[in-house]
Structure 1
Amino acid sequence: MKTLAKEVMSTDFETLKPDLPLNEAVQAFRRASAKGRKIFGMMVTDEQNRLIGMLSMYDILLFMRPKHIHIWGHMDDIDVEGIMDVACERARAVRVGDIMTTEVITVTPDTHVLRVMDLMIKKHIRRLPVLDRGEIQGIIYISDLFYDLLERLSQ
């Protein structure tokens, strides 16, 4: 029975660098997802491979979304295609470090899975880096917890 973070974490992960252009980061998401698991967020590390942030699908969509969309109404008379083209062009000049989340919640390898689950639910996060004395050991995706729970329920 898996009870600790180190027992449910994924140790096969890729990281991004903060100076990576956003369009290259999107390609990294695609390559990582091609390994069989859909990846919607990646850890960002410095030159010493220390965790300095997370870049998620949400961060990218938030950046791409026009700032004043809430006042546009039904958008029937808006050139959505043109707006998205402008956003994509703007994104080419953006680096991962410009839009990543820097306040990252982490756990240790010995954190109990119930604590991990509690953090994910309360903080509305879908992935948690696992660090041991500042060194990245792995990452826990909310799906890791869910499938572990399914396994327990089917026994």
Structure 2
Amino acid sequence: MKGKTLLVKDVMSKDAFFVHPETSITQCVLGLAQHKLSGAPVADNYGQLIGFVSEQDMLPALVQSVYYCDEPRRVGDVMQSEVLTVNPNEHVLQVAKLMLEAKPKVYPVIEDNRLIGIITRRQVTTALIHSQEKCVPV
């Protein structure tokens, strides 16, 4: 690839949707749908990443809630604590390689232990297409 190297910070969403552990599953599902995401970072009140929650994580709780006609639980009850993250200065190609090996479609972007955004599989694939358009055959 010739030209400028694409970094995560060049293509990530800086105003990313995220939730707190106290957020209800209902609110989280509605927020994910509104933002067209399959999952979201979970941060504390100081912006520190503490987990990640996906639609798949919330589905069992929603099924149970519908079955028993009760309130769904909180995000903190179903979130994953082990979170794959990326740095804003990583190359987009590195993130693409991670996405080949791991399941997440959304990666939190962390700088100085703080959540500063997210990068999605769609953003990575779009960035790769734009880079490909600028390639010059040798």
Q: 2:80 aligns with which of 101, 117, 127?
A: 101
Matches of 2:131 and 2:95, distance apart in 1: 17
CA contact (8 A) 1:59 1:99 kept: yes
Question: TM-score, normalised to structure 2's length?
Answer: 0.82
Counterpart AA for 2:55: M
CA contact (8 A) 2:22 2:76 kept: yes
Q: CA RMSD in A?
A: 2.0
Deviation at 1:64, TM superposition (A): 4.1
Q: Tell me, what secondary structure is at the counterpart of 1:139?
A: strand
Which residue does the alignment assign to 2:132? 153
Q: How many residues align?
A: 131
CA contact (8 A) 2:23 2:75 kept: yes
Which residue does the alignment assign to 1:142? 121
Q: How does 1:51-70 map to 2 (within 5 A)?
A: 51-64=49-62
| Superposed CA offset, 1:57-111 (max 9, x none) | 1212244467xxxxxxxxxxxxxxxxx8316x35x24110011111001111111
Deviation at 1:134, TM superposition (A): 0.5
Deviation at 1:115, TM superposition (A): 1.5
Segments ≥4 residues shifted beyond 3 Å: 62-66
Which residue does the alignment assign to 1:29? 32
Distance 1:134 1:25, change over 3 A: same
Q: Tell me, what secondary structure is at the counterpart of 1:18?
A: coil
Which residue does the alignment assign to 2:91? 112
Counterpart AA for 1:85: V
Identity %: 31
Structure 1 portions without partners, runs of 5+: 67-83
Larger Rg: 1
Question: TM-score, normalised to structure 1's length?
Answer: 0.74
